[in-house]
A and B are shown apart, each in its own frame.
Chain A
């Protein structure tokens, strides 16, 4: 399968600050690729360069064979962008917003009218299309925001954290829309700091932190890279207790790694159920009361923790 997007050593600096440090990756035609990383990792800067909003400091990328630095206008015709923040006119209706943005992409006449109706149906807002956007709920606004990116049927859709700050029902609708678009053949570059979204949607995932792409592969490849480790989370009352507990659990047999985060001691182990009794008894020994326990299958959170020593939400 050919690559719709090829990124080569793409970098962006602001003075001495390096926001993106020379990342390289590709997205195949028809693929959903997630860029997973905490806030400030460089996800939005990467999308801004790929969508031709900012010129990279160095490196380049090609989309559908067009360089983002040499031929930005050609790139813009084949990409769709759903920005992280809503970019809509609140005093226009949903239909008027879509019509305006359709015009910006060179659509017009009866074809635009039909396409606007189609997109309204696609994002589930046909009956609300003639109401002003300012009357919409947050989730509905997000859906119009996505609809704008779909109007001209782009080959590659950039979605920058499209589910931030919305209710679970709208979030579910957005994730289903992404899957539906992909089924229709659209390639998607999806950025998120929600591990579950990346796991659910992606064919492949790139993990980005401090402007560097620190891991790249399918979910299976990434979890396998850390040895299929399970995560055992021991929740305690305060961070100081979590630190004492983590120190006590370091030497426990079968424990590969111990970290602390948010009132938790987090153990990476090949078999969490086997380690659990010993961990609880160790906590009793040092008089720390465990409030709750979570066991997680190998996942991206564990991968991120293993690679950076921090949780995704830190």
Chain B
């Protein structure tokens, strides 16, 4: 175990002594975050979120409570001046407003949305299908603003889904245990649903924590952009780390390790630890740096630490896979640069990636960027570790799976022979 950390520590030390690497690991992401912050008006001095009065048109065709609840979210005090909603009844007119660049997005709640989600409405006919979808018609000319609208709706939908599933489980269990008569299920479920519409349950990313005496966090565009840039350049760091494995082969230091009393598994393990440590240091420095330089609030420290470790693990997996695929450090560099940009686009490092087709958004879930950026944004909006636990788990699974793939590839191409 000691040898693993010795190799890992050596790699971290070498990374921190590489001036070119330092620029790409630390200076470039902070500079780009600053630049994007300036572009979005984050540093204009009016407030610290860089965005306000985002025009959005709401079309509520639903006759149930969830439609009303979502409209209430957009007009709630928590959202404050972030959005400026207007209502319409015609979806086509709303879309036209978006096409004419009058609003950043149109949120269209279809008729029967509540009925398709809430057990109370159709439990007698079995489990509700959930087939009605809220449509967000976005303006590609206002990607950041439209991204905020999408985030609000996503958060609402996520909470509705959690409520729906847990409600179904509770009612089913109560009926099975004889604690609730099937005939009373509808009334009981209605009670659960009513709570969704209660004013205190307003579900948006901007959450009030005024009961603690501290002012509620407002939406900060940098809470998306800063992790976006950090994760973009994290891919550079991990591919650089992967390349060192091939550099060591070319420089003879790998052979020298192999003829010392050190096993091949220890060497690979040590290299993985080196990449992981470097990735953690990079993201940690960027978080601390952006906090100090831009007064950016990253949120719950436990959640942030967990997410940093998970993001570093998954990115390390990618670094190892790229090194295993490539034959030379130069090829790793080229593949790494391509992966960095593709992951950046697919994972949302350059702002929200919603203008992409759905299938590309699905593909984007293989990137650490997608899970990481959403997780950091949620924490910055007041979320806790529990809120980002699914992201942490997904990233860890990704890291383990990629590491296993890289080991298989290294064995297959005979990189290390004992």
**Taking beta carbons and an 8 Å cutoff, which residues of A are in contact with B?**
51-53, 55, 72-73, 76-77, 79, 81, 83, 85-89, 91-92, 96, 100-101, 103-106, 108, 132, 148
Across the interface, which residues of A come within 8 angstroms of B263, CB to CB?
73
Across the interface, which residues of B come within 8 angstroms of A79, CB to CB?
259
A104 touches B255 (CB 8 A): no
B140 CB, min distance to chain A CBs, angstroms: 46
Interface hit among B9-17, B123-131, B152-160, B366-374: B9-17
Across the interface, which residues of B come within 8 angstroms of A148, CB to CB?
256
Across the interface, which residues of A come within 8 angstroms of B337, CB to CB?
none
A83 touches B260 (CB 8 A): no
B14 touches A100 (CB 8 A): no
B6 touches A87 (CB 8 A): no
B252 touches A87 (CB 8 A): yes
Bound-state Cα–Cα, A148 to B252, Å = 13
A91 touches B259 (CB 8 A): no
B255 touches A53 (CB 8 A): yes
- Residue from the list B2, B251, B252, B260 in contact with A101, Cβ < 8 A: B260
A89 touches B14 (CB 8 A): yes
Across the interface, which residues of B come within 8 angstroms of A72, CB to CB?
418
Bound-state Cα–Cα, A262 to B10, Å = 48
Q: Please name 30 pairs of A and B residues whose Cβ atoms are closer than 8 Å in the assembled complex, sorted by A.
A: A53-B258, A53-B259, A55-B417, A73-B263, A76-B259, A76-B260, A77-B261, A79-B259, A81-B256, A81-B259, A83-B255, A83-B256, A85-B251, A86-B252, A87-B251, A87-B253, A89-B14, A89-B253, A91-B13, A91-B14, A91-B17, A91-B18, A96-B13, A103-B3, A103-B6, A104-B262, A105-B261, A106-B261, A132-B17, A148-B256
B209 CB, min distance to chain A CBs, angstroms: 47
Instruction: Write out, one digit per residue, whether chain B residues 262-291 have a CB within 8 A of any chain A CB (1) or not (0).
Output: 110000000000000000000000000000
Closest 9 A/B residue pairs (Cβ): A87-B252, A87-B256, A104-B260, A103-B6, A91-B17, A76-B261, A51-B259, A87-B253, A85-B252
Bound-state Cα–Cα, A85 to B251, Å = 8
- Residue from the list A73, A87, A88, A92 in contact with B255, Cβ < 8 A: A87
Across the interface, which residues of B come within 8 angstroms of A81, CB to CB?
256, 259
Report if B257 contacts A (CB, 8 A).
yes
Bound-state Cα–Cα, A92 to B16, Å = 11
Bound-state Cα–Cα, A81 to B253, Å = 12
B37 CB, min distance to chain A CBs, angstroms: 34
Across the interface, which residues of A come within 8 angstroms of B253, CB to CB?
87-89
User: Can you name the residue of chain B whose Cβ is closest to the Cβ of A132?
Assistant: B17
B278 CB, min distance to chain A CBs, angstroms: 14
A87 CB, min distance to chain B CBs, angstroms: 4
With A103-B2, A106-B261: A83-B14 Cβ-Cβ less than 8 Å: no
User: Can you name the residue of chain A whose Cβ is closest to the Cβ of B17?
Assistant: A91
Across the interface, which residues of B come within 8 angstroms of A105, CB to CB?
260-261
Bound-state Cα–Cα, A51 to B261, Å = 11
Identify which of residues 232-268 in chain B touch chain A, using a CB-to-CB cut-off of 8 Å. 251-253, 255-263
Bound-state Cα–Cα, A37 to B258, Å = 26
- Residue from the list B6, B17, B261, B417 in contact with A73, Cβ < 8 A: B261
A243 CB, min distance to chain B CBs, angstroms: 41
Across the interface, which residues of A come within 8 angstroms of B262, CB to CB?
104
B256 touches A92 (CB 8 A): no
- Residue from the list A53, A88, A104 in contact with B3, Cβ < 8 A: A104
Bound-state Cα–Cα, A87 to B13, Å = 17
- Residue from the list B3, B6, B10, B418 in contact with A89, Cβ < 8 A: B10
B2 touches A108 (CB 8 A): yes
